Amino acid sequence: VSKQSHRKDEHVSLAIKFYDEKSHAGFDHLRFIHQGIPEISLNEVSLESYIDKIDLDFPFYIEAMTGGSEYTKKLNQSLAKIAEETGIAMATGSQSVALKDSTLSDSFSIVRETNPNGTIFSNIGASVDVKNAQKAVDMMDSNALEIHINTPQEIIMPEGDREFNWINNIKEINQNLNVPVIVKEVGFGMSAETIQLLIDNGVKNINISGKGGTNFSKIENYRRKEQELDYLSDWGQTTVESLLETKKAHVSDDITIIASGGIRTPLDAAKAISLGADAVGIAAPILYSLIKNGEDETVRFINDFKDGLINIMTMLGCRSISELKKIKMIADPYLQNYINQRNIPY
């Protein structure tokens, strides 16, 4: 097994080891206002949403995790089956390894083979050039490309990148690819400044992937022999804080905001949407369910998640995702303090 493939397997086993079914992404600091007479029936609620030009039947999808080894090929195949059966979209883990070693391509292309008509997102690191970015998309005939930004993870990885001049490359990929491009964090969140920089460079789709779910500073620190960078384990903005940060940037109607990081329940997802997300990505809970409980249980988990969202939208009187996006919540004093110090218009 190559070093790269071994790392991919380690990410899976450590994400499962550290998995916490409770979210720490800040959703507990917000609550909806109950409406006693919502004047709506359950079957009027539509979960349809979109990312850029891509229609989604459901506003949540399987976020980027696996591929790049024999074991993660099997996981990708299972995730693709689950995505097909539930009709939700799916991203794969970073294909950067397969761009360097083509014998690993089949651990990604299996996703398109398994789910020929599904909505599939490619994933690469921000230093991959335009030509290879297009190759990653072609490998799975993908509907969109996620470019991940992950400075803390690289810094903590002994073998990680040490150069982070990314914006011109991101701009070039975004201009030259034949599918929509999403720029995504990996669980450290985004600031208004980062979001604005991306928008100013033409990026239309932003996944703020915040702190509070899978924690890559913990995972990479555990992979070090001496776990001496433990003091970085709380680095970043939570998913809720990052969504609030989008309100300080100039996010026009043609920009798609996606939330991930610590989305654990339909209530978390509903709150993320009400904070402005058009869709949410769920990573570790789906992987955990697949590994611990199998494919059928994971299909059930996803279908229950859809029902849960419909229930909440019904209680709030929202017939569509765009109506849910307009609902205002109440912040507790802790979160209000963040909102005040960052001058966020919420």
Per CB under 6 A, residues contacting ligand FNR are 11-12, 15, 63-65, 93-94, 123, 146, 148, 184, 186-187, 209, 213-214, 260-263, 282-284, 287
User: In this structure, what token pair is assigned to residue 80?
Assistant: 């693709």
CB of 253 to ligand FNR, least distance (A): 25
Residue type at position 68: G
CB of 237 to ligand FNR, least distance (A): 13
Distances (CA, A) of 27 to 201, 211, 330: 30, 11, 11
What secondary structure letter does DSSP report for 67?
Answer: -
Which CB, 9 or 323, lies closer to ligand FNR? 9
Which CB, 18 or 330, lies closer to ligand FNR? 18
Q: Which residues contact 57 (CB under 8 A, 6 or more apart)?
A: 47, 48, 87, 88
Which CB, 45 or 95, lies closer to ligand FNR? 95
First to last CA, the chain: 50
- Cα 37 → chain centroid: 34
CB of 93 to ligand FNR, least distance (A): 4
CB of 243 to ligand FNR, least distance (A): 14
CB of 212 to ligand FNR, least distance (A): 7
Which CB, 26 or 93, lies closer to ligand FNR? 93
Could you give the 3-state DSSP secondary structure of residue 251? Answer: coil
Which CB, 184 or 306, lies closer to ligand FNR? 184
Closest CA to 160 of 23, 11, 35: 11
CB of 147 to ligand FNR, least distance (A): 8
User: In this structure, what token pair is assigned to residue 118?
Assistant: 């599904």
Q: Which helix (H) or strand (E) holds 114?
A: helix 106-114
Nearest residue to ligand FNR, by Cβ distance, number only: 213
Which CB, 143 or 318, lies closer to ligand FNR? 143
Closest CA to 336 of 129, 30, 49: 30
